[in-house]
């Protein structure tokens, strides 16, 4: 069958081609989970092999080898598989699906004019060394380009759409977050930025009963994936689910590869007897089950926005009869990453190697970032009532926007106050500078971010422009001068 692309996928391919024409050999394609990165890559590979050129699709997990091979089969792309013990060893085919681990052990990279590296935010030494040679076109695929140093491996990034835009367009599922309970992580030792595993497991075990109870309440009997801290925690979750009459499987590293393959094949069936997978990290990326109706977060994360978004995205694919994905947060992760993931879902990646997760001690704790409904435990953006149960919240005094108070809001106000008072003025200024709405949106977001080191809480398209006051106009002029000086300095160097 032919590969039919969506408009944003065609735009991504055109931007990749433009980067290659400009002489770039290593390009990163950032697309949200569920947006069709593999389909886009398949089109590129198919076009390349039709020109009698060799192509390699690199993956770093066994389940991704089989999953990618199945996609290629569906598109009629003849290929071989380079993986130890795989029966589809066909080195004569122009297209190869390659296990990075196998290539690393053999020390020989297969020939090819095009290499596509899946889940490239995990940077393997074998891949880094190959890309440094510059002897082929290399395209990295990821939904989470947050790895430190990734911009040095892939100097050019293509980012054509966002999670929220795909939800609005109907390509991804809507979601609803419940945050009924979470473990107390106070005093847990931090190791390499994350909480120490054994003690995290001890804390998470205390809310295992809540996990099962809330799934029974909100999960609607649908398929689910549940994260766990370690194998011990995963086993306890499986035991509790089984005791409640819910058949689920433990999908962790200690389960043999052939058994895991059988489990996935069964779970993909619409009428699968398996209702859920409990995993540590084995299914956090490249795990594509479109009719997954519930994502359960039971593993507390301290810093890993990438891991959080990868798991979140498992439930956002659409499927017949699926109206929304239920997120059950028993980890506290949605609260910890609220600002970061909402900004990323709305605005996408604005550049690599930027520090995505600011120091939590330095970040202001703003009461107006989100609300946890006291009645049904829905976690949602600030509004007068709960969108799930209708609970009304006490009214708060409105923010005043007189010109005389603008300077105070700029210097000491919350991000919500700045969004209400300053953001509409920046939107108006940007629209007066450029005629293209898309360029005006990017300009306005860049100026607001540069000024306050935060993103506005209201989308550009939903903001009513307001005439900029002198304070805002002067600030925009200062930024213009600073940018002009920076460009002249860069040109002289």
User: Quick one: 283 exposed, middle or buried, by C-beta within 10 A (0-12, 13-18, 19+)?
Assistant: buried
CA distance 30 to 69: 22
Is 99 strand, coil or helix? strand
Cα torsion for 71, 74, 79, 84, to the nearest 10°?
50
pLDDT of residue 364: 44
Written as six digits, the tokens of 50 are 């039709």
Whole-structure pTM value: 0.76
Q: What pLDDT sits at residue 363?
A: 43
The pLDDT value given to residue 351: 43
Nearest Cα neighbor of 56 from 127, 156, 105 is 127
pLDDT of residue 493: 61
Beta bridge partners of 57: 97, 116
Predicted pLDDT of residue 133: 93
According to DSSP, residue 354 is labeled: -
Q: What pLDDT score does 295 carry?
A: 97
Give me the tens of pLDDT residue by residue for the chain, a chain 493 residues long: 578 999 999 999 999 999 999 999 999 999 998 899 999 999 999 999 999 999 999 998 877 898 899 999 999 999 999 998 889 999 999 999 999 999 999 888 999 999 999 999 999 999 999 999 999 999 999 999 988 889 999 999 999 899 999 999 999 999 999 999 999 999 999 999 999 999 999 999 999 999 999 999 999 899 999 999 999 999 999 999 999 999 999 998 888 888 888 998 899 999 999 999 999 986 665 578 999 999 999 999 999 999 999 999 999 999 999 999 999 999 999 999 998 899 889 888 764 444 443 333 344 444 447 888 988 999 988 888 888 888 888 764 433 334 336 777 777 777 788 888 899 999 999 999 998 888 999 999 999 988 988 888 888 998 999 988 888 998 999 999 888 888 887 777 6
* Three-class secondary structure of residue 177 per DSSP: strand
The string of DSSP letters for 186-215 reads: TTPPEETTEE-HHHHHHHHHTTHHHHHHHH
Integer angstrom CA distances of residue 44 from 68, 180, 188: 14, 44, 47
Q: Which two tokens stand for residue 1?
A: 């069958």
Q: Which domains does the chain have, with CATH numbers?
A: 7-159 (3.40.50.300), 167-347 (3.40.50.300), 403-492 (no CATH)
Quick one: pLDDT at residue 420?
A: 86
């Amino acid at each position: 069958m032919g590969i039919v692309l969506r408009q944003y996928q065609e735009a991504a391919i055109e931007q990749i081609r433009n980067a290659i024409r400009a002489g770039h050999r290593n390009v990163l394609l950032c697309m949200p989970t569920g947006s069709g990165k593999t389909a886009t890559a398949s089109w590129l590979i198919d076009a390349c092999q039709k020109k009698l050129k060799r192509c390699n699709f690199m993956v770093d997990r066994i389940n991704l080898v089989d999953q990618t091979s199945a996609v290629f089969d569906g598109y009629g792309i003849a290929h071989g598989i380079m993986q130890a013990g795989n029966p589809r060893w066909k080195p004569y085919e122009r297209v190869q699906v390659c296990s990075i681990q196998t290539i690393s052990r053999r020390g020989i990279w297969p020939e090819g004019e095009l290499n596509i590296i899946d889940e490239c935010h995990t940077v393997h030494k074998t891949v880094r060394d190959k890309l440094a040679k510059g002897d082929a076109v290399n395209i990295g695929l990821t939904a989470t380009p947050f790895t430190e140093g990734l911009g040095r491996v892939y100097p050019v990034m293509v980012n054509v759409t966002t999670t929220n835009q795909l939800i609005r367009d109907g390509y991804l599922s809507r979601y609803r977050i419940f945050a009924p309970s979470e473990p107390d992580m106070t005093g847990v030792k931090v190791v390499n930025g994350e909480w120490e595993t054994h003690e995290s497991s001890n804390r998470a075990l205390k809310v295992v009963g809540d996990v099962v109870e809330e799934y029974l309440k909100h999960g609607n009997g649908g398929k689910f994936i549940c994260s766990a801290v370690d194998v011990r925690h995963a086993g306890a979750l499986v035991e509790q689910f089984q005791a409640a009459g819910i058949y689920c499987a433990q999908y962790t590293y200690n389960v043999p590869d052939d058994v895991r393959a059988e489990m996935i094949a069964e779970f993909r069936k619409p009428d699968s007897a398996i209702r859920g997978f409990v995993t540590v990290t084995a299914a956090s990326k490249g795990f594509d089950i479109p009719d997954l109706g519930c994502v359960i977060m039971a593993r507390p994360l301290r810093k890993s926005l990438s891991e959080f978004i990868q798991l979140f995205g498992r439930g956002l694919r659409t499927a017949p009869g699926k109206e929304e994905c239920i997120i059950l947060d028993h980890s506290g992760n949605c609260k910890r990453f609220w600002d970061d993931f909402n900004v990323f879902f709305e605005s996408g990646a604005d550049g690599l190697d930027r520090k995505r997760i600011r120091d939590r001690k330095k970040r202001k704790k703003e009461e107006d970032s989100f609300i946890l409904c006291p009645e049904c435990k829905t976690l949602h953006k600030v509004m007068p009532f709960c969108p799930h149960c209708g609970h009304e919240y006490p009214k708060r005094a409105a923010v005043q926007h007189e010109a005389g108070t603008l300077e105070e809001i700029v210097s000491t106000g919350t991000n919500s106050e700045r969004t209400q008072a300053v953001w509409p003025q920046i939107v108006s200024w940007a629209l007066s500078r450029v005629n293209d709405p898309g360029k005006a949106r990017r300009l306005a977001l860049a100026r607001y971010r540069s000024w306050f080191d935060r993103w506005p809480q209201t989308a550009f398209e939903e903001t009513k422009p307001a005439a900029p006051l002198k304070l805002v106009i002067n600030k925009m002029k200062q930024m213009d001068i600073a940018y002009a000086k920076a460009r002249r300095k860069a040109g002289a160097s």
